[in-house]
Amino acid sequence: MKRRTLLGGTIAVAVLGLTTAAIGQQAPIKIGMSMAQTGGLAGGGKASLLGIEVWRDDVNARGGLLGRKVELVVYDDKSSASETPAIYSKLLDVDKVDILFAPYATVPTAPLMPLVKQRGMLLMGNFSFQVNSKVGHDMWFNNAPWGPADSWASSFLDLGQKAGGKTIALLAADQEFAQNLAKTAREVATKLGMQVVFDQAYPPSTVEFSGILRALKAAKPDIVYVASYPPDSAGILRAVNEIGIGDNVKLFGGGMVGLQFGTVMENLGSLLNGVVNYNTWLPEPQMYNDGTKAFFEAYTKRAVEAKVDPLGYYLAPYGYANGQMIEQAIKAVGSLDQKALAKYLREKTHKTIVGSITFAADGEWKETGVVQAQFRGIKDKNIEQFRSPGKQVILFPAKMKSGDLITPFEAARK
């Protein structure tokens, strides 16, 4: 009995101590999220998180928001959809966070959409693809520059058509993101009056692509649209290097994930030459905005220590931009009222380090910010070369253009 009294007393004192400490200073604004730190999406998740952390430190150095410090509450979702509902429920019900950021990528985000809609919470998306199209949550804002669903394929196929392409081959991984890309590519091809002469999905575990590429080559397409994931992107480029792709191919690439990551680019080296692929940020002069340079200086310094992508072009600046958007919204609204913040985000244009962002009704970018760029003059085993302009020449959009397309693909590879 005595021991119990002592224990109770200790707990009471501890609780009392904690409460007084909390009252002593204003509670921080908590931003909650899950982020892949293990599993297949961990590489991207960690880089994205570092971008958000750089923003947190910047905003706290500027005195925080509403006179309160900004704190991140982050849990590992193991790259899995089955982990996120419980994590976000904890963020909302136990940690009582003020703002929610979505996890990196589509699969972990998809189960959250109905949850945040039911709870009336604002959710800042993080590089997912069309997760809101069926749910229709009016407080969802995606930081990814995809824009309208078909803009991705249309930008690439448009380039191909201008280069004289009439037929198209589709090669896509049998996974959610790649299949979404392939679907829109088929629709856009029909709209542009192009003929699909080859349409192949391959299982995600495929490592050997020479058979598929031989069949593709035999179909003699003008444009090859590839929607692949990092391991297969490398496998496909190696197979292309081995057996070639045919002289009539004018444009090759489009939706190859992985060719944006520093280590993958370093490993592939000269095999990248000639490929036209999507990207979200590149060190071309047109892509610098207010704060972009300072961000990358801070990121590069911390990337080594955090063991993440040393370049960090793909995700990290967009993580920072998510912070910037919420910062602007909170400052303008003057509170953490979810509806008011969402209204501000929906109606205004937001200046960020990745450019000006305006949202459409579905919470995606009104205009696409995805660029299509061609790899040029890449040498083997040198990651630093990707920091200089001219290595990935922007072909689309027109206002960002930093060079012209070199065709055919076989000529551009040399």
Partner 1 sequence: MKRNGMYFWGGAALFLAGALLMTQVIGNQYPFFACYVILQFIVLAVAWSILGGYAGYVNFGTSAFFGVGVYTAVFLFKATGVPLAVQIAAAAAVGALMGFALGLLTLRMQGIFFSIATIAATIIIETAITNWRYVGGASGIQLQRPAVMAPFDNYVEMLFFVQAVMVVLAVAISRYIQNSWIGRGLQALKDDELAAECTGVPTLRLKLTACVISGALMCAAGAPAAMYLQYADPASAFNLNYSVSALAMSLIGGTAHWAGPVIGAILLGVTQQLLTVTISSEVNVLVLGVMLVLFVVAAPEGIVGLIRKVRSKRNEGEG
Q: Pick from 71, 176, 187, 199: which binds partner 1 (CB under 8 A)?
A: 176
- Distance (Å, rounded) from C-alpha 339 to C-alpha 121? 8
Q: Pick from 75, 127, 261, 278: which binds partner 1 (CB under 8 A)?
A: 75
Q: Pick from 115, 169, 272, 329: which binds partner 1 (CB under 8 A)?
A: 115
Q: Binding segment for partner 1 among 168-176, 270-278, 290-298, 391-399 (CB under 8 A)?
A: 168-176
**Minimum distance from residue 130 beta carbon to partner 1 (Å):** 9
**Minimum distance from residue 213 beta carbon to partner 1 (Å):** 21
Sign of CA dihedral 320, 322, 325, 330: negative
Three-state DSSP at 310 gives: coil
174 belongs to the binding site for partner 1 (CB under 8 A): yes
148 belongs to the binding site for partner 1 (CB under 8 A): no
154 belongs to the binding site for partner 1 (CB under 8 A): no
Q: Which is nearer to partner 1, 38 or 358 (CB)?
A: 38
Q: Binding segment for partner 1 among 127-135, 158-166, 189-197, 339-347 (CB under 8 A)?
A: 127-135
Q: Pick from 83, 98, 284, 362: which binds partner 1 (CB under 8 A)?
A: 83
Q: Binding segment for partner 1 among 131-139, 140-148, 206-214, 296-304 (CB under 8 A)?
A: 131-139
365: DSSP letter: B
The count of chain residues that interact with partner 1, using the rule CB under 8 A, is 38
Q: Are strands 355-357 and 371-375 parallel, antiparallel or unpaired?
A: unpaired
208 belongs to the binding site for partner 1 (CB under 8 A): no
Site for partner 1 in 278-307 (CB under 8 A): none
**Minimum distance from residue 16 beta carbon to partner 1 (Å):** 23
- The amino acid that residue 105 corresponds to is A
Sheet-wide strand order for 392-396 = 195-202, 167-173, 223-228, 251-256, 276-279, 371-375, 392-396
257 belongs to the binding site for partner 1 (CB under 8 A): no
- Distance (Å, rounded) from C-alpha 24 to C-alpha 44? 38
In angstroms, what CA-CA distances link 214 with 210, 217, 219?
6, 5, 9
Q: Pick from 28, 66, 69, 85: which binds partner 1 (CB under 8 A)?
A: 85
**Minimum distance from residue 196 beta carbon to partner 1 (Å):** 17
Three-state DSSP at 200 gives: strand
Which pair of structure tokens corresponds to residue 81? 């959809």
Which pair of structure tokens corresponds to residue 88? 């976000």
Q: Report the interhelical angle of 176-191 vs 151-162 (nearest 10°).
A: 50
In angstroms, what CA-CA distances link 127 with 109, 222, 319, 388?
9, 30, 9, 25
Q: Pick from 60, 64, 71, 76: which binds partner 1 (CB under 8 A)?
A: 76
**Minimum distance from residue 136 beta carbon to partner 1 (Å):** 10
- Distance (Å, rounded) from C-alpha 90 to C-alpha 76? 13
Which residues are near partner 1 by CB under 8 A? 37-38, 74-76, 78, 80-83, 85-87, 89-90, 92-94, 106-107, 110-111, 113-115, 131, 134-135, 173-176, 178-180, 201, 203-204
